[in-house]
């Protein structure tokens, strides 16, 4: 990683995400269901389910909702979902990955294509932008009121098994190999409060979004995230500082 910062984009979109909390719970329920369906209902023996449950807890999803999603996975009448990733370009040529979880691929493909077309984007072929992203574990620790310097954090991060640390005035950003993410997260949680901890897709290069394209790109991302079948939207845009 060289100079990439995910923090700016996270902070810029937090309020919008908070406003969609009910829809987020709905999507998390499906992800929990899928993880439990494929690997079993016990988080202790199903690492993917454990990650999804942790993600749900971080979003303050009620315990009863989590339990219902897991319980549903053991029933014979559960829906058959599949994971599909769509790739394309938004305004100013910003690369976009759209991860979906759907029980009707025709419905989902039609909705995603329409969102791109109506919001100054272009849906591409499979593989058209995915090579520009790397799967990584990402952890952010807010530096406000944190009396830890970069040298100490670097030592703790390396000892925890992470790959990289990036430091700014506001935040420590930690990147891990996906297979080491849970272990690194758990180790750092013993000493620090984690503001963000997730498995994500990190663009190899962030592209500054021109001022006149910010609204268009935000609108496209909002429309995609509003789709019931969309789980995650990743992009290579670096929004201007607010």
Helix 47-58 with 181-189: angle, nearest 10 deg: 50
CATH 1.10.10.200 residue ranges of the chain are: 6-74
Q: Among 40-49, 76-85, 178-187, whose mean pLDDT is lowest?
A: 76-85
Tokens 């339990």 sit on residue: 67
Find, among 79, 84, 85, 64, the residue nearest to 34 by Cα: 79
Find, among 51, 193, 210, the residue nearest to 135 by Cα: 51
pLDDT for 43-82, tens place per residue?
Answer: 989 988 988 898 889 888 899 989 988 888 876 555 678 8
Residue 130 three-state SS: helix
Listed in sequence order, the DSSP H helices in the chain are: 7-18, 21-39, 47-58, 63-73, 105-118, 150-160, 181-189, 214-226
For strand 164-167 and strand 196-203, is the pairing parallel, antiparallel, or unpaired? Answer: unpaired
Residue 31: predicted pLDDT: 87
Tokens 């993917």 sit on residue: 48
Q: What span, in angstroms and rounded, lies between the C-alpha atoms of 232 and 171? A: 23
pLDDT for 201-239, tens place per residue?
Answer: 999 999 999 999 999 999 999 999 889 899 889 999 998
Residue 7: predicted pLDDT: 67
Residue 132: predicted pLDDT: 96
Domain at 82-131+205-238: CATH code = 3.30.70.980
Structure pTM?
A: 0.80
Percent of the chain with pLDDT over 70: 89
> Is the Cβ–Cβ distance between 161 and 137 less than 8 Å?
no
Q: Is residue 2's pLDDT more than 50?
A: no
Q: What span, in angstroms and rounded, lies between the C-alpha atoms of 130 and 145? A: 38
For strand 133-142 and strand 95-102, is the pairing parallel, antiparallel, or unpaired? Answer: unpaired
Reported confidence tier of residue 242, pLDDT bands at 50, 70, 90: very low
Domain at 132-203: CATH code = 3.30.70.980
Q: Is residue 108's pLDDT more than 90?
A: yes
Pick the CATH number of 6-74 from 3.40.50.300, 1.10.10.200, 3.30.70.270, 1.10.3210.10: 1.10.10.200
Residue 138: predicted pLDDT: 93
Q: Is residue 111's pLDDT more than 90?
A: yes
CATH 3.30.70.980 residue ranges of the chain are: 82-131+205-238, 132-203
Residue 96: predicted pLDDT: 98
């Amino acid at each position: 990683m060289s100079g990439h910062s995910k923090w700016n984009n996270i902070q810029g979109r937090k309020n919008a995400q908070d406003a969609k909390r009910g829809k987020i719970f709905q999507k998390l329920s499906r992800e929990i269901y899928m993880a439990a369906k494929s690997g079993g209902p016990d988080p202790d023996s199903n690492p993917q389910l454990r990650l999804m449950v942790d993600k749900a807890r971080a979003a303050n999803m009620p315990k009863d909702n989590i339990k219902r999603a897991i319980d549903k996975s053991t029933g014979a009448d559960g829906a058959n979902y599949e994971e599909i990733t769509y790739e394309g370009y938004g305004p100013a040529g910003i690369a976009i990955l759209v991860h979906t979880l759907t029980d009707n691929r025709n419905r989902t493909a039609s909705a995603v294509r329409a969102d791109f077309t109506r919001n100054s984007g272009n849906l591409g072929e499979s593989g058209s932008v995915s090579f520009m992203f790397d799967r990584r574990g990402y952890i952010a620790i807010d530096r406000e009121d944190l009396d830890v310097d970069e040298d100490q954090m670097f030592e703790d991060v390396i000892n925890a098994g992470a790959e990289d640390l990036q430091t700014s005035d506001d935040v420590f950003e930690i990147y891990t190999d996906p297979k080491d993410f849970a272990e690194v997260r758990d180790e750092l949680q013993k000493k620090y409060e984690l503001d963000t901890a997730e498995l994500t897709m990190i663009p190899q290069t962030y592209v500054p979004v021109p001022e006149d394209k910010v609204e268009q790109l935000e609108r496209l991302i909002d429309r995609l995230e509003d789709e019931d079948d969309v789980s995650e939207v990743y992009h290579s845009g670096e929004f201007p500082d607010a």
